[in-house]
Copies of this chain bind each other. A is one copy, B any other.
Amino acid sequence: MENLEISLKDLKIDNLGPAKVNCPFQLSNIYGDNIVNYVRDSESVLLENDRDKVVKRIKAGKPLLAFEKAGPRGKIYFDPSKTKAGIVTCGGLCPGINNVIRSIVMELHYRYGVKSIFGFRYGYRGFISKYSYKPMELTPEIIRDIHEKGGSILASSRGPQDVGEIIDCLDRMNISVLFIIGGDGTLRGAQEIYEEITERKLKISIIGVPKTIDNDISFVEKTFGLETAFSIAAEAIRSAHTEAKGAPYGIGLVKVMGRLSGFIAANAALAMNEVNFVLIPEVPFDLRGENGFLKTLERRLEHKKHAVIIVAEGAGQQYLMKDFGRKDDSGNPVLGDIGIFLRTEIKKYFKENTGMYVNLKYIDPSYMVRSVPANAYDSIYCMQLAQNAVHAGMAGKTGMIVGRWNSEFTHVPIKLAVSRRKRLSPEDPLWLSVLEATGQPIKMVNDYKK
């Protein structure tokens, strides 16, 4: 936590230099005149919200941690007529990527008058000459309708590429602002790019838009696409519940995304309140034993004749030792398939230990959850992230992502955002809602004393 405080101490992003061009869009700096205000760099959003804690900190002479507030600035750094912007999308798909791309282009083109915008194809590979992916010129005409589609029109790839070659490409193409849409691994790469640019003293702004369907970026309240994702996951739960009720001793088992965090599982379970067990990476469970998951499931089936289980893909990995600890190209852990594992274990358990012949129906909606277009809320959210990313980039901010905190858009140093993964704390009110809505035991472990 001390480290964190240190990194939070100075939340002001280093400007590349003094802002010199006036804002193109007439804004005011007076609150109360009914004219939209630009945001001063001194405006901020407190990290901590509790009155007592805030007062205590101030009295103790400790700094109050806060994020810089996002929004249009009074002055901009880059001259739009000479500015070239780039966009790249990395890692797995997520609902809303095209919305972000589109709104960045719209905002640059119509609000700031930046007419030269390039999309780099297939993630960081798009900068690397050996792949020969030609950058795609992005105009309002081309991106007009892309938000109606899931995926990324720029396509994506996993894994890092040579930072030097990426910067050479940016420099050669004369890119002033690069928008990087990606998750934890991608943002680590972005941080390296930012640091190398600083070292080379290039005037290139690096602005990240955090993208992770798992909602696991720290200091960002909610990542885009999450709502859309759990809406779809909720439909899988609906089906699982229908199947569970449709046959003798029916069990519906749904696996959803969530490598390190259970946000999709927890939210989907609340949205479709037919779930009896939510298994997530953050809350360990015993499989066997009197308080273990299987025995608890048996009691539920005896009592209610059917059960619905949702499991995040990263849950219970200790039971899948084969690949435990291995990581893929993007630095994400290689997971065993907990869905298939549970399907087998449950069937086996009931066959061997009980007289019930269970009808287990397994649903893995997999990519259907992440490749759909953004819903209405995420469409707005993506647009606002993009608008604020453009404001930041044009104002000469760099080494930052656009975040959201306390319902306001913020600037977060990339370094801070990747300092750790966000997880769903078992002490979070969201998890309490899950416990209350499912009725599942607080802990399904044998050595837990209530």
Q: In the complex, are the beta carbons of B52 and A55 less than 8 A apart?
A: no
Chain B proximity mask over A414-442: 1 for CB below 8 Å, otherwise 0: 00000000000111010111011101001
Interface residues of A in 60-79 (CB under 8 A from B): 64, 66, 69, 71-72
| Nearest CB on B from A31, distance (A) | 6
Cβ of A224 within 8 Å of any chain B Cβ, yes or no, is no
Interface residues of A in 199-245 (CB under 8 A from B): 221, 227, 230-231, 234-236, 238-240, 242-243, 245
| Nearest CB on B from A186, distance (A) | 15
Can you list 10 A-B pairs with a CB-CB distance of less than 8 A? A44-B50, A51-B66, A55-B64, A58-B58, A110-B436, A236-B368, A242-B371, A242-B372, A273-B383, A363-B366
A371 and B145 in contact (CB under 8 A), knowing A34-B427, A427-B36?
A: no
A379 and B429 in contact (CB under 8 A), knowing A35-B442, A371-B239?
A: no
Nearest first, the 8 A-B pairs at minimum CB distance are A271-B376, A406-B406, A151-B242, A231-B376, A242-B371, A51-B66, A239-B371, A150-B242
A49 to B111, CA, bound (A): 28
Nearest-neighbor residue (CB-CB) of A408 within chain B: B49
A156 and B247 in contact (CB under 8 A), knowing A37-B427, A242-B93, A429-B71?
A: yes
Chain B proximity mask over A156-171: 1 for CB below 8 Å, otherwise 0: 1100000000000000
Cβ of A270 within 8 Å of any chain B Cβ, yes or no, is yes
Cβ of A347 within 8 Å of any chain B Cβ, yes or no, is no
Question: Among B34, B72, B240, B409, which residue has its beta carbon within 8 angstroms of that of A426?
Answer: B34
Chain B proximity mask over A291-308: 1 for CB below 8 Å, otherwise 0: 000000000000000000
Q: In the complex, are the beta carbons of A433 and B384 less than 8 A apart?
A: yes
Q: In the complex, are the beta carbons of B377 and A227 less than 8 A apart?
A: yes
Question: Among B32, B147, B379, B436, which residue has its beta carbon within 8 angstroms of that of A111?
Answer: B436
Q: In the complex, are the beta carbons of B231 and A375 less than 8 A apart?
A: yes
Q: In the complex, are the beta carbons of A239 and B26 less than 8 A apart?
A: no
| Nearest CB on B from A287, distance (A) | 19
Residues of B within 8 A of A271 (CB): 376-377, 379-380
A53 to B66, CA, bound (A): 12
Cβ of A361 within 8 Å of any chain B Cβ, yes or no, is yes
Q: In the complex, are the beta carbons of A383 and B437 less than 8 A apart?
A: yes
Residues of B within 8 A of A55 (CB): 58, 64
Cβ of A276 within 8 Å of any chain B Cβ, yes or no, is no
